[in-house]
Amino acid sequence: MPKLILASTSPWRRALLEKLQISFECAAPEVDETPRSDESPRQLVLRLAQEKAQSLASRYPDHLIIGSDQVCVLDGEITGKPLTEENARLQLRKASGNIVTFYTGLALFNSANGHLQTEVEPFDVHFRHLSEAEIDNYVRKEHPLH
């Protein structure tokens, strides 16, 4: 059976896969994650998941490589990673009391035979109204920057 590679350095993705109690390694994909001007959220996460998985194929022949990406859409606009605490607060204020759609793209690439399986799953999150204290507390405790 081929070895499993997670094309990610995200501690959250690593923790998710660890819950399955299967053996895998993590590797950093080399992908430009800049959205293209004509891409829908669905197209963006699908492309990035595929590129992340396929970018590691030459380093990991005969492996199953998982690539994944997620974007948040609020008021019809893709919201990027906040990168700063102030941006995280701004995003949470915008989400407060609204419905936010997350698109998750997943790609499983068999580097031995080139077979690629993909899936995109949208899901809506209904945010309750958040107070400034709740937003500050969340940002301080969770560090949602990346």
Q: Where are the domains of the chain?
A: 3-142
Query: Is the model's pLDDT at 146 over the cut of 70?
Result: no
As a whole number of angstroms, the distance between CA 68 and CA 47 comes to 10
Q: Are 55 and 118 in contact (CB under 8 A)?
A: no
Supply 29's token pair.
């994909």
How many CA atoms within 13 Å lie on the side-chain side of 118? 21
As a whole number of angstroms, the distance between CA 83 and CA 81 comes to 6
Which of 32, 62, 69, 124 is catalytic? The answer is 69
Supply 19's token pair.
């819950």
Residue pLDDT, tens place only, 100-127: 999 999 999 999 999 999 999 999 999 9
pLDDT at 145: 64
As a whole number of angstroms, the distance between CA 15 and CA 39 comes to 29
Residue pLDDT, tens place only, 70-105: 999 998 899 988 889 999 999 999 999 999 999 999
| In this structure, CATH architecture of domain 3-142 | Alpha-Beta Complex (3.90)
Residue pLDDT, tens place only, 6-65: 999 988 899 999 999 999 999 999 999 999 999 999 999 999 999 999 999 999 999 999
Q: Is 69 a catalytic residue?
A: yes
As a whole number of angstroms, the distance between CA 8 and CA 96 comes to 29
How far is Cα of residue 29 from the mean position of the Cα atoms in its chain?
Answer: 13
Beta strand segments in the chain, E:
3-7, 25-27, 63-74, 77-79, 99-110, 116-126
